[in-house]
C-alpha cells in the first residue's frame, strides 16, 4: 500500500472524536513521497478535503475535538482545560533525501501565560526534555532527540500557544 493511502487510513478514524457542535480542531496532514503527494485538511466544522494519487474528494464528518485529555507528546501534557485549535503535520520521505517530519499544535489554555509557562517547565523537566527558556516559551530537544519549540502568549486569563516538534 502506498504511503498516501496509509495516511488516509490512519487519519479518517479521528473523525469519530467530535462533539457535533462545530467546535472542532482544524487540521492538515501533508505527505510527500516518491508515490506522490497526499493531503487531508479539515475545518472546525468537520469539512474534510482529501487529495491523494488517484483520489480527490471532500466529505462532511463530525468535527474532531482535541483537548488536554487527548494530548500526550513524549509524556508532556497540555495545561488542564486546554483545547487544541489547530494541528498540522508534514512529512517528506522521498527516497534519496533525508526523511523530514514536523508537527505543529496550536492551543488555548484557561490560565495566564506565567501559570501556563510554569506548567510546561515542570512537564518538560519531568519527561527528560533538554530545554532552555526562549521568550515566554521554551526550545530544545525531546527525550527522543527531536527538536521542539514552544511559544506562549496571552492576555488575562487565557494563553495561546504553539508547539512545534521536528524539523
Element (H, E) at 31: strand 26-33
Reported pTM = 0.75
Q: Is residue 85 domain-shared with residue 126, that is, in the same domain? A: yes
The residues, any chain, with a CB within 8 Å of residue 122's CB and separated by 6 or more, are none
Q: Is residue 87 domain-shared with residue 163, that is, in the same domain? A: yes
Least confident of 1-5, 97-101, 156-160, 161-165: 1-5
Q: How many domains does the chain have?
A: 2
Q: Is residue 78 domain-shared with residue 114, that is, in the same domain? A: yes
Give, in order, the Cα–Cα distances in Å from 53 to each of 1, 5, 157: 12, 9, 45
65-77 pLDDT, tens per residue? Answer: 888 998 888 888 9
In three-state secondary structure terms, 120 is helix
d(CA 122, CA 144) in angstroms, rounded, equals: 18
Q: Is residue 102 domain-shared with residue 136, that is, in the same domain? A: yes
Please give the residue range of the domain that contains residue 123: 65-167
Amino acid at each position: 500500500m502506498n504511503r498516501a493511502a496509509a495516511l488516509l487510513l490512519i487519519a479518517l478514524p479521528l473523525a469519530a472524536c467530535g462533539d457535533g457542535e462545530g467546535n472542532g480542531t482544524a487540521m492538515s496532514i501533508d505527505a510527500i513521497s516518491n508515490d506522490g503527494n497526499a493531503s487531508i485538511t479539515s475545518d472546525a466544522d468537520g469539512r474534510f478535503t482529501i487529495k491523494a494519487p488517484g483520489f480527490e474528494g471532500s466529505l462532511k464528518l463530525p468535527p474532531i475535538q482535541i483537548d488536554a485529555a487527548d494530548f500526550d507528546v513524549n509524556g508532556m501534557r497540555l495545561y488542564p482545560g486546554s483545547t487544541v485549535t489547530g494541528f498540522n503535520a508534514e512529512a517528506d520521505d522521498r527516497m534519496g533525501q533525508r526523511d523530514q517530519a514536523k508537527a505543529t499544535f496550536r492551543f488555548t489554555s484557561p490560565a495566564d501565560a506565567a501559570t501556563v509557562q510554569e506548567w510546561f517547565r515542570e512537564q518538560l523537566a519531568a519527561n527528560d526534555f533538554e530545554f532552555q527558556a526562549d521568550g515566554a516559551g521554551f526550545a530544545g530537544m525531546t527525550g527522543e532527540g527531536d527538536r521542539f519549540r514552544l511559544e506562549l502568549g496571552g492576555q488575562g486569563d487565557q494563553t495561546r500557544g504553539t508547539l512545534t516538534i521536528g524539523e
